[in-house]
C-alpha cells in the first residue's frame, strides 16, 4: 500500500509540472508574498483583536457592531480603498447576554456547566425538573397543565466514552490522495422530510410555549469534558429573531451534568435547579451589514476577484476557529497584497474585493443578500436564480475560508474541472508549505455556495481538520488558544498568491455550465 501511494503521488507531481508549463506563475511576486505572509505575519495579532477583544460576534448583537467598526478602521489604516458596509435583511432582532448562572439546589448543591441558546429571554427562578418522556401526540397531552415553572429535560442520557485517540489530526498522504481522486460530484437530491416527525416537533414546541416552563434543557449530540456545543433557540413557528416572538428560555447543558440530573430523576429523587439569565434584544431596524473593502485594479478594473470569510460567530466563546480564523486569514491576505504591491510596484489588473460576511451561521444570509443585490434575481423563498444581473459576469472568482485554524492543503474545485490545471500550477510553488492537492469534490456549509449557486466560480480551500468539528466548532471552547499561528500565516500566504494570480490572468476563470432551473442548494444549507 505504501509503495502504491508513493507511485500515485509521483504521478501527481508529474501532472503538476505539466500544468505549471501551461499556466504562468510569477515567482518574483510569490517571493514577496512569502516574505510578508510568513516572515512578517500579523495574523495572530489580528486574530487576537478579533476574538479576545471583539468576540463573540453574534449577528445582530452590539458586539458585532463594535467588531465591524474595528475591522473597517483596521482595513482603512492598512490602505484598503472603498471600505464600506452593505446592508442586507431584514434579519430580525439582535440578542446579547450580560449575566448567566445555573445551579443544582436539591438534593445537593453544585454549579452546572451550561449556556443559554441565543435569543433566549431573561429568566430567573428555582423549579423542579421534569423529564419529558413523550414520543407521540397522546404522550404530549399527558403533560398539559403540569409544566409551568419547571425545568424540562428533552434529551435522553448520552453515553460518554473516554478518549483513546486525540481529537486533533492533520491530513496524511492517504487522505489527500482520496481527495485528489474524488470523482465529479453528483447533484444533491431534494430532501425528503418526515412530515409526521415535523408535526410532532411543532406540537412539542407549541406545548412548551403554552405551558410556560421556567426553562428547557438539552445536551448536544457531541461534546464532553465540559465542551458544550450551542446555537440558537427554537420556536414552534417562525424564528426566535422575529420581533415579539414568544421564546421559551432554552439552555444546553454539558453532557456529564445533564446525565447526572437525569440519572437522579430515574432514581426517584426530586431535582431542583436555579437559573439567572439577563439578556437583552437589540437591532430595532432588523437590518445587518457585510464589510466590503477593495484594492483597485488597472486595465481590467471593471472585473473583480473576490475573497472572503464570514465574520459572525455564535455566542458561547469568541468565535476563534469559526470563523475568526477565516476572517483573520482573509484580512491578512489583503494586508500581504497591499505590501506586495507597494514593494514590487506591480498593481493588480482586476479589482480585488475583500468581503467579511455576517449572518452566515443562520443560513449564509449575508452573502446571499449580497448576491441578491449584485448578481441575480431570485423568486420568493428561493435561492435558485431566475436571471442574472450584469455584475455577475464581472466576477472572475470568489475564494473562501471557513473550516477552522488548519493550514491550507489544497482547494476544492466544486465540480469545476476546467480550473484544475490552473490551480495545480498556482499550488506547485507551495508544495514546501504542504499545499498541493486539487480535489474535484464539492464541500458545503459556507459562503462559497452562494457564488456557486449564481454560476460564479466559488471555492473553499482544503484545510487540516485539527480538532475543529470535534472540539471548537460552535462550542464554548472556540477561543484564541486553539488557533495555530503558523497555520494562519501559511493560509494567508497561499490565498494571497491565488488572489493575485487570478487578478493578473488575461482571461477570467472558466465557469461551469448551469441550468437555471436546477436547485443547487436547499434553502437552509448554510445553517451549521
- Per residue in 384-410, pLDDT (tens digit) is 999 999 999 999 999 999 999 999 999
Confidence check: pLDDT of 19 > 50:
no
Q: Which three cell numbers stand for residue 296?
A: 483597485
Residues contacting residue 341 through CB under 8 Å, at least 6 positions apart: 295, 347, 348
- Architecture per CATH, 94-159+192-282: 3-Layer(bba) Sandwich (3.50)
Q: Which three cell numbers stand for residue 101?
A: 448562572
Q: Which three cell numbers stand for residue 79?
A: 490602505
pLDDT of residue 522: 36
Half-sphere exposure of 150 (CA within 13 A, CB side): 20
User: Contact, 217 vs 258, CB < 8 A?
Assistant: yes
pLDDT of residue 184: 78
Domain boundaries 7-92+285-504, corresponding CATH code: 3.40.630.10
By C-alpha distance, which of 208, 204, 216 is closest to 129? 216
pLDDT of residue 515: 58
Q: Find which of 132-136, 439-443, 493-497 is predicted with most confidence, using mean pLDDT.
A: 493-497
pLDDT of residue 5: 41
Percent of the chain whose predicted confidence (pLDDT) is above 90:
82
Confidence check: pLDDT of 61 > 70:
yes
pLDDT of residue 7: 37
pLDDT of residue 260: 98
For residues 25 and 37, give the distance between their C-alpha atoms in angstroms, rounded to a whole number.
18
pLDDT of residue 186: 67
Confidence of residue 194 (pLDDT cuts 50, 70, 90): very low
pLDDT of residue 18: 39
Half-sphere exposure of 114 (CA within 13 A, CB side): 30
Confidence check: pLDDT of 190 > 50:
no
Q: Find which of 1-5, 173-177, 334-338 is predicted with most confidence, using mean pLDDT.
A: 334-338
What are the beta bridge partners of residue 438?
Answer: 411
Strand order in the sheet with 94-106: 110-111, 94-106, 272-282, 123-131, 151-153, 215-218, 250-253, 114-116
Confidence check: pLDDT of 88 > 90:
yes
Please state the domain extents for the chain: 7-92+285-504, 94-159+192-282
Q: Which three cell numbers stand for residue 103?
A: 445551579
pLDDT of residue 514: 75
DSSP annotation of 391: G
What are the C-alpha distances in Å from 51 to residues 63, 167, 189, 388?
11, 23, 38, 37
Average pLDDT, the chain: 91
pLDDT of residue 178: 83
- Per residue in 327-368, pLDDT (tens digit) is 999 999 999 999 999 999 999 999 999 999 999 999 999 999
- What is the mean predicted confidence (pLDDT) over 160-177? 86
For residues 23 and 21, give the distance between their C-alpha atoms in angstroms, rounded to a whole number.
6
- What is the mean predicted confidence (pLDDT) over 156-169? 89
Confidence of residue 163 (pLDDT cuts 50, 70, 90): confident
257-271, 350-364, 510-524: least confident range = 510-524
pTM reported for the whole predicted model: 0.91
Half-sphere exposure of 493 (CA within 13 A, CB side): 30
Amino acid at each position: 500500500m505504501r509503495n502504491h501511494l508513493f507511485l500515485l503521488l509521483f504521478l501527481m507531481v508529474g501532472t503538476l509540472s505539466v500544468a505549471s508549463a501551461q499556466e504562468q506563475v510569477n515567482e518574483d511576486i510569490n517571493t514577496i508574498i512569502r516574505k510578508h505572509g510568513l516572515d512578517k505575519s500579523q495574523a495572530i495579532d489580528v486574530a487576537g483583536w478579533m476574538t479576545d477583544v471583539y468576540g463573540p460576534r453574534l449577528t445582530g448583537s452590539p458586539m458585532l457592531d463594535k467588531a465591524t467598526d474595528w475591522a473597517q478602521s483596521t482595513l482603512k489604516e492598512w490602505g484598503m480603498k472603498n471600505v464600506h458596509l452593505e446592508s442586507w435583511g431584514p434579519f430580525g432582532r439582535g440578542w446579547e447576554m450580560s449575566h448567566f448562572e445555573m445551579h443544582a439546589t436539591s438534593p445537593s448543591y453544585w454549579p452546572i456547566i451550561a449556556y443559554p441558546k441565543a435569543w433566549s429571554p431573561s429568566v430567573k427562578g428555582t423549579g423542579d425538573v421534569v423529564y419529558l418522556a413523550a414520543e407521540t401526540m397522546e404522550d404530549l397531552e399527558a403533560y398539559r397543565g403540569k409544566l409551568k415553572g419547571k425545568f424540562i429535560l428533552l434529551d435522553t442520557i448520552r453515553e460518554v466514552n473516554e478518549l483513546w485517540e486525540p481529537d486533533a489530526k492533520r491530513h496524511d498522504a492517504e487522505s489527500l490522495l482520496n481527495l485528489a481522486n474524488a470523482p465529479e460530484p453528483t447533484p444533491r437530491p431534494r430532501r425528503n422530510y418526515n412530515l409526521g416527525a415535523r408535526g410532532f416537533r411543532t406540537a412539542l414546541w407549541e406545548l412548551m410555549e403554552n405551558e410556560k416552563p421556567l426553562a428547557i434543557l438539552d445536551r448536544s449530540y457531541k461534546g464532553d469534558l465540559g465542551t458544550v456545543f450551542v446555537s440558537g433557540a427554537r420556536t414552534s413557528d417562525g424564528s426566535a429573531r422575529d420581533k415579539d416572538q414568544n421564546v421559551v428560555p432554552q439552555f444546553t447543558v454539558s453532557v456529564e451534568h445533564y446525565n447526572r440530573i437525569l440519572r437522579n430523576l430515574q432514581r426517584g429523587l426530586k431535582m431542583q435547579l436555579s437559573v439567572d439569565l439577563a439578556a437583552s434584544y437589540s437591532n430595532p431596524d432588523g437590518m445587518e451589514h457585510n464589510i466590503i473593502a477593495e484594492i483597485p485594479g488597472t486595465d481590467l478594473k471593471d472585473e473583480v476577484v473576490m475573497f472572503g470569510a464570514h465574520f459572525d460567530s455564535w455566542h458561547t466563546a469568541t468565535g476563534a476557529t469559526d470563523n475568526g480564523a477565516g476572517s483573520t486569514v482573509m484580512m491578512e491576505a489583503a494586508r500581504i497584497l497591499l505590501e506586495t504591491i507597494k514593494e514590487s510596484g506591480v498593481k493588480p489588473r482586476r479589482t480585488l474585493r475583500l468581503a467579511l460576511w455576517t449572518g452566515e451561521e443562520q443560513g449564509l444570509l449575508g452573502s446571499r443578500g449580497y448576491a441578491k443585490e449584485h448578481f441575480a434575481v431570485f423568486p420568493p423563498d428561493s435561492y435558485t436564480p431566475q436571471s442574472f444581473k450584469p455584475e455577475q459576469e464581472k466576477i472572475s472568482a470568489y475564494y473562501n475560508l471557513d473550516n477552522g485554524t488548519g493550514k491550507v492543503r489544497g482547494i476544492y474545485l466544486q465540480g469545476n474541472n476546467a480550473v484544475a490545471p490552473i490551480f495545480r500550477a498556482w499550488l506547485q510553488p507551495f508544495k514546501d508549505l504542504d499545499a498541493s492537492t486539487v480535489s474535484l469534490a464539492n464541500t458545503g456549509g459556507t459562503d462559497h455556495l452562494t457564488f456557486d449557486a449564481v454560476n460564479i466560480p466559488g471555492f473553499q480551500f482544503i484545510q487540516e481538520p485539527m480538532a475543529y468539528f470535534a472540539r471548537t466548532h460552535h462550542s464554548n471552547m472556540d477561543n484564541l488558544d486553539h488557533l495555530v499561528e503558523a497555520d494562519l500565516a501559511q493560509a494567508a500566504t497561499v490565498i494571497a498568491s491565488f488572489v493575485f494570480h487570478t487578478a493578473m490572468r488575461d482571461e477570467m476563470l472558466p465557469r461551469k455550465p448551469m441550468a437555471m432551473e436546477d436547485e443547487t442548494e436547499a434553502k437552509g444549507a448554510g445553517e451549521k
